[in-house]
Structure formats: structure tokens, C-alpha cells
Structure 1
């Protein structure tokens, strides 16, 4: 029987550690070419002459990395229905080839609804190896409440 995290298992202030991901030059170039073809993401020579002084990851690539870490560490074990809103997406510092990004997700607020669901407000962050926050996301997801007789686990 699979144990699932439901909305009522969450508490404001709970922080889920999401693990980490190392960013390669090849990943930056591939994502940039496919989805954000600006020279700072796709051309090493042009990026070297930019204000960043070298190749950097697209902010949307960085956000996708956070999403993957959240899914693997939390959502794959949770009664999440869907994302509802990203209220803030802040790209705070550049992400460079070789960076190891560490993820965290903090539960900010839980708003139960009458239909057996709850809106969960959370804050996700990615921090590089120097301790600099490179990305911060605030948003809402919709979660199920535990059905009668269902098993659950407390938040990490």
C-alpha cells in the first residue's frame, strides 16, 4: 500500500529539502537552443563578451530544474491535483555550467476548501554551492484531503 502526503499533513513553516542537481554546459546549450535562444544561453563566445562574462542558464531552465526536484522529492508522494498559479518567479543570480543547485520548498499557507481539496501556497528556492539563492518561486497548488480510511504520512 502506498503512503501519500495529503493536504492535512502539511503545516506552514514545513520545509522539504529537495536534493540537488548539477548543471552541465551541454544542458544549458540544449535548453537555450530549444527554448530560449539568446546568445548568453547558446553561444559561448558571445556569452563571454556579455555582462555575465560567460555562458549562463536560462531562468526558465533553472525553474524547470526546481520543478523536477519538487516532483521527485515531494509531489511524486503527494496527493497533488495540479498547479494553480505562479505568483512570483525571481531569477536572483546567474546559473553557470558546473553549478550544483540545492532545492528547498517551504509550505507557507494551507487553505482548505469545501470540495475536499486545499490550496497550498509554497515558496521554492534553488541555492548554488556558494549559498546564493539563484531562483525563488512562490505559487499555489491544489491538493486532495485524505479520503476516509486512507493512510497518510506526516510532512518531512
Structure 2
């Protein structure tokens, strides 16, 4: 079933996903995109960082979140892409062994044209303890059912 603009309601909440963070993936991502020492140097991060060990890059956390969003929502949605983010915050460090999930709440909707509308949503990425490790507010365009 395709999810159109009309299928989303302000206040609607979806919760989904289960993504286990591995040290190998953390290192691979960080070495390629964010090679700061607390992401790539296990020994130094254990001895010197305020985190007590390796943590994911915030950009890796955002990428894992996007994967869950695509797997559990956008793969079935009439999404036309995003206009951008209004806010992005990394709230709690993500470590190897954490298991992430996503909670999305629709905050606002606006019909822009006969063929599309914009949905403003807050996404929270949660760890296995229910702590929000990342939050973002995004503006995504959806096709309208009647505008097909």
C-alpha cells in the first residue's frame, strides 16, 4: 500500500526498526567519512576520551536512521524527497552494541499544489534503553493521491 500525503495526519506516530550498531561498521564508516580519533582509535578513545571508548559519528547515526526510515516507511511512501532539516541534534553517544529504533511524529502538513504536499515530522532515534540518541525535524514532500 502506497502512503500518500493524505494518509498522514498531524499527531500520527510511527515506531519501527531495530538496527544493531557493530564496531566493524562504526570503524568502516568513520574511517571513510569522519576519521576523528574518538571514532577510529579504539585504544586512545578508551584511555583519553570522555566517552570511555569508541562512539559513532553523528553522521553515521543519521545514516542508520535514514536506513530504518527507508526500510519501514519511505519504501512504501509516495515520497518526492526532502526539502531539508529544520533541526538535527546528537543527544547521547552511540556505541558498539547499541540497538537503535526510530519514532516519527507528524508535526505539520501543508498542501502545496494539487500534486504534492509537505509534511514536517520529528524523528527520534532511540537506543535500547529508550534514550533519544538523535533528534531531527525534517520537511518531506509527498505526492497527493488525487494529483497522481
Q: TM-score, normalised by structure 2?
A: 0.95
- Helix, strand or coil for the counterpart of 1:147? helix
Structure 2 counterpart of 1:11, from 9, 14, 17: 9
- Helix, strand or coil for the counterpart of 1:57? coil
Query: Is 1:70–1:105's contact at 8 Å kept on the other side of the alignment?
Result: no
How many residue pairs end up in the alignment? 147
Greater displacement, 115-124 / 52-61 = 115-124
1:1-44: per-residue Cα shift (whole Å, max 9, x none)?
Answer: xx211001110111111211000000110000000000111010
1:65-89: per-residue Cα shift (whole Å, max 9, x none)?
Answer: 1111111111110110011111111
Query: Is 1:6–1:79's contact at 8 Å kept on the other side of the alignment?
Result: yes
4+ long deviations beyond 2 Å: none
User: Which consecutive residues of structure 2, in runs of 5 or more, have no partner in the other structure?
Assistant: none
- 2:45 aligns with 47
Structure with greater helix percent:
2
- 2:75 aligns with 76
Once residues 93 and 124 of structure 1 are traced to their aligned partners in structure 2, the CA distance between those partners, rounded to angstroms, is 15
Once residues 77 and 51 of structure 1 are traced to their aligned partners in structure 2, the CA distance between those partners, rounded to angstroms, is 41
Once residues 10 and 146 of structure 2 are traced to their aligned partners in structure 1, the CA distance between those partners, rounded to angstroms, is 22
- Helix, strand or coil for the counterpart of 2:140? strand
User: Which consecutive residues of structure 1, in runs of 5 or more, have no partner in the other structure?
Assistant: 151-156
- 1:153 aligns with none
Once residues 103 and 27 of structure 1 are traced to their aligned partners in structure 2, the CA distance between those partners, rounded to angstroms, is 19
